[in-house]
Amino acid sequence: MPAFREEYVVVVSPGSETTLVTLGLEESLAPAALEVPTRVYRHATNPKWFSSSGSEENAIYPIKSGAITDVDAFNYLLKIVHKAALNKFGSMVAVPLLLVSSPRWKRRQIEQITQYVFETMKVPGFTIIPNALAAAFAHGLSDALVIDVGKDKTEITPINESAVVEHAQRVIDIGGSDINHHLGKSLPDLTPSQVESLKCSSIFEVLNEYDTKNSWFALNTQPVEQNRGEEDDGVVDVAAIVSSGRTREILEAREREKITGQSKEDEVPNMDREHNTFVDNNNKMIEVGKQRFHGTENLVAKITEAVGDVVKLVDQVNKRQDCWDNVIIVGRGSGVKGFKEALYVALQTRYVILRSTTYSEVPSTFNTGGQNTPNGAGTPFYGNAQIGNQGHGQVPTSIRLAKMAEYFPEWKGHGWEDVAFLGAEIAAKQIFTGSLDNVFVGRSEYNDVGPNAIWDV
């Protein structure tokens, strides 16, 4: 197959609300250059036609909860993106397209998309890559468990040997909007827009167990008025400071405050404040209390339960531990500070089995899969043959979050919620500019086979 020039490769990753686009790959891969609404408009006079602009009453959102609900409207969205690429590069340039897919896309829809991009858009090369596989590519992993938290759904996908384990893959109908729902219930005076602003602000976070025990609310159990009075009188709650385990840091901060005259509010961490403020979309400052630390509990619980069901369906027992050791959490629903850590702790708590030291002297002939399982008289020891994670496969001996590489400088400070797009860029560069065979559909392959050619790559 002919190789294309990387500066003309187009990558498209559609979501329910926005679509990420890169028109041309650079030597150093960067976050999406464009983020456009996943929306087109039905023509005012001819309902079979579409437009890139129009009134909200004629707006069509072709993807909902990861599923394509209007394939014709979705194809037109791709046409808009492709036209933008031709306007940038010139109509004589060969512009191949890589499309990132969701597990809820139907086989027939993928074939319709393939037919459209070749027969209407006239692309010279086309391929589709699953979103979860792209996330694994970004981490440089061939085995992983990808948890993609979207707005109204969460996709849980095991990856084995760089392939999606399709029969084990699961999509649950809960996502980041569940956080908004619970925040709205605890803060009924806020509008939905203000709830979203709070969720996206720096003061909304998930506290770990240690931070929760040492937060303002745990250390100040007496009436608020009394606490404020003591602070006004300059009285230091020594017991609270000592029990926090951060005595030195707090006292040093107080001393600096005396020397510099700096406001204490400017130094106090979010978790140590009874109240904190955020700014909504109308630049209105709003104060909230401890509600800013809650709202993710239900989402974390639902995902945790579903993850166990997914991993159990991986046929190769030895591959289950590979999934547990490379958990990838992506998606904008996971962007809340502390969310990934909270989900990780929930997975550890529910699934990792560690034998209690209370029974450490009781011999056992069973391999519990526990990392700290002792070798009693009834447990034979095989030296190096048992080193590593060699559980029986029903429960993990360890769970680890996959780490990103450090050599993507453009992504630093951007956040890793969209890292699947980076994986798609990596794949696109290898697929369209390398010498690999049968990794994309070219014009000749499409002419010979038709839309079914997409299943041969």
Look up residue 205 and give its DSSP letter: B
436 to each of 150, 164, 429, 440, how far by Cα in Å? 32, 20, 11, 9
Q: Which residues contact 77 (CB under 8 A, 6 or more apart)?
A: 14, 19, 38, 39, 40, 62
Other Cβ atoms closer than 10 A to 308: 14
Q: What would the pLDDT profile of 277-330 be if each residue is shown by its tens digit?
A: 999 999 999 999 999 999 999 999 999 999 999 999 999 898 999 999 999 999
pLDDT tens track for 106-163: 999 999 999 999 999 999 999 999 999 999 999 999 999 999 999 999 999 999 999 9
**32-54: average pLDDT:** 91
CATH of domain 179-290: 3.90.640.60
Angle at 179 between CA 145 and CA 38, to 5 degrees: 75
Query: Could you read off the pLDDT of 215-231 as tens digits, one per residue?
Result: 444 445 555 444 444 44
pLDDT at 232 over 70: no
The model's pLDDT over 167-204, given as tens digits with 9 standing for 90+, comes to: 999 999 999 999 999 999 999 999 999 999 999 999 99
Question: Under CATH, which number does the domain 6-137+418-456 receive?
Answer: 3.30.420.40
Domain boundaries, the chain: 6-137+418-456, 179-290
